[in-house]
Every structure is written in C-alpha cells, then in structure tokens.
C-alpha cells in the first residue's frame, strides 16, 4: 500500500488526494478527486466574509455557498458562527457526496443544507444575508497551462470559466442581487486579472461598496459587493 501511495505522488497526484484529507482553516476535511483541493486563497475568502459584520447582526444569518465542492466554505462558515444557516449548492452530485461527508464529520447536518442545483435556483428572493462562491474562473484557453497536478487530477468543471473566465460570474452576480436582502453581500474568489471586470459587473447589477481585495501575493483575488 505504501508503494502504491508513493507511486501516485510520483505521478504528480496532489498530496491531499493521496492522503484523502486536507486542512482548511484548521478543520480536517475529506479530500478527493470529486472536488478541488481547498486552497489558502479560499481561506482568505472565508475570512473576508466573516469580517463583514452586517451579516452577523441578525439572530440567525442565512447564507449560500455556491459551487460548494468539498464543502470547505460551508463547513468553515458554520463552524465559525454557531447560528448561521448555510445553503450549499453544486451541480455535481459527486462533489455533494464528498461535501456531505465533511458536513456530517463536523456535526453540521442541521445547519448546512446540501442541494444539487444551478447557482441559487433553490433559494428564495430576498432570503440571504451572504452569498459566497469560489466559482470556476480560469479561462478555457489557460487550462492547458495549469500545473500538471491541477490539470490532470482536479475536476475541470470546477476550473473552466469559459472564454474569459467570467462565464459563471456573469450568471451568478445578477442572481445573487435577486436573492440577497438589503444590506446583504456577495463575496467571490476571482482570477488575478479579473478585478476590474468583476467590479464593473457588480456595479452594473446594482451592487454598492464594491471592493477588490488582494491575496498574500498582492494579486486581485476577492471581490465584494453589497446590496445598498
């Protein structure tokens, strides 16, 4: 068995897939090829959302995690805030099976609701305090240039953002506008060259206080818009 695991590493498979688990904001999560490997940039996305105080002033905040994958965002948010209700959706049934393992492992099944749906289709208008998403944002033509451990092992559906990387975001932003309550906010992870375009997209659809935040390497990575 050790030789088999070592062989997978030699072949370039991500360590997290080989081990079958990873750590995300200190929480141990099952991790395999059904979903992306959670990354530090997504931890920063969670931290930005947790720092948005208006969302946490209600007695029972409601949020959506769009494209939940392994469930890392949903689990981290629910573990960090004992009253939040999380609607976690994904189009991939396989990813949701993995997310369910992680939700149950952390005893969150009563507050994290997993739904197979497109974007926010299963949420009612004006029902959410927060929408958080790490959507596919890699331009299709750039997929071939990704590191082999990403390109060959991680699910392409969770990476491919269309011709300019913004295909999913163009659909998500107006739908989030509809589903959020006044004062609610949308937080999304973006590509390093997408800050200006995503800012314009949010402003065009009526979001205010739009802000683009850099990652630890100084690259545009998180965009936030508020329903004013």
Could you tell me if 33 and 17 are in contact, meaning their C-beta atoms sit under 8 angstroms apart?
A: yes
pLDDT in tens, 48-107: 999 999 999 888 999 999 999 999 999 999 999 999 999 999 999 999 999 999 999 999
| CATH for the 34-227 domain, from 3.40.50.620, 3.40.50.150, 3.30.70.100, 1.50.10.20 | 3.40.50.150
- The Cα 156–Cα 36 span in angstroms is 9
Whether pLDDT at 12 is above 90: no
Angle between helices 72-80 and 40-50 (to 10 degrees): 40
Q: Which contacts (CB < 8 Å, 24+ apart) does range 105-109 have?
A: 105/28, 105/29, 105/30, 106/27, 106/75, 106/78, 106/79, 108/74, 108/75, 108/78, 108/79
**What per-residue confidence (pLDDT) applies to 5?**
77
Q: Please give the model's pTM, rounded to 2 decimal places.
A: 0.95
Q: For residues 150 and 159, is the Cβ–Cβ distance under 8 A?
A: yes
Residue 19 pLDDT class (50, 70, 90 cuts): very high
Give the strand pairing for 112-116 and 85-90. parallel
Asked if pLDDT for residue 11 goes beyond 90, the answer is no
Task: State the pLDDT at residue 10.
Answer: 74
pLDDT above 90 coverage of the chain, percent? 91
Q: Which residue has the tokens 């205010």?
A: 208
């Amino acid at each position: 068995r050790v030789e088999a695991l070592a062989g997978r590493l030699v072949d370039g498979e991500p360590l997290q897939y080989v081990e079958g688990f990873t750590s995300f904001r200190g929480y141990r999560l099952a991790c395999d090829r059904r979903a992306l490997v959670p990354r530090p940039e997504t931890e920063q996305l969670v931290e930005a959302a947790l720092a948005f105080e208006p969302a946490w002033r209600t007695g029972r905040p409601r949020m959506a995690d769009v494209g939940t994958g392994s469930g890392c965002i949903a689990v981290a948010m629910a573990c960090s805030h004992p009253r939040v209700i999380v609607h976690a959706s994904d189009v991939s049934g396989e990813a949701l099976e993995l997310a369910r393992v992680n939700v149950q492992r952390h005893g969150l099944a009563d507050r994290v609701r997993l739904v197979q749906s497109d974007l926010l289709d299963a949420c009612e208008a004006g029902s959410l305090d927060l929408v958080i998403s790490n959507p596919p944002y890699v331009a299709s033509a750039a997929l071939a240039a990704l590191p082999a451990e990403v390109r060959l092992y991680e699910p392409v559906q969770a990476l491919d953002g269309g011709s300019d990387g913004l295909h999913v975001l163009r659909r998500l932003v107006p739908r989030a506008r509809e589903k959020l309550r006044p004062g609610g906010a949308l937080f999304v992870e973006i590509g390093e060259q997408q800050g200006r375009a995503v800012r314009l997209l949010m402003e065009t659809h009526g979001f205010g206080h739009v802000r683009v935040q850099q990652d630890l390497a100084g690259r545009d990575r998180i965009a936030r818009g508020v329903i004013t």
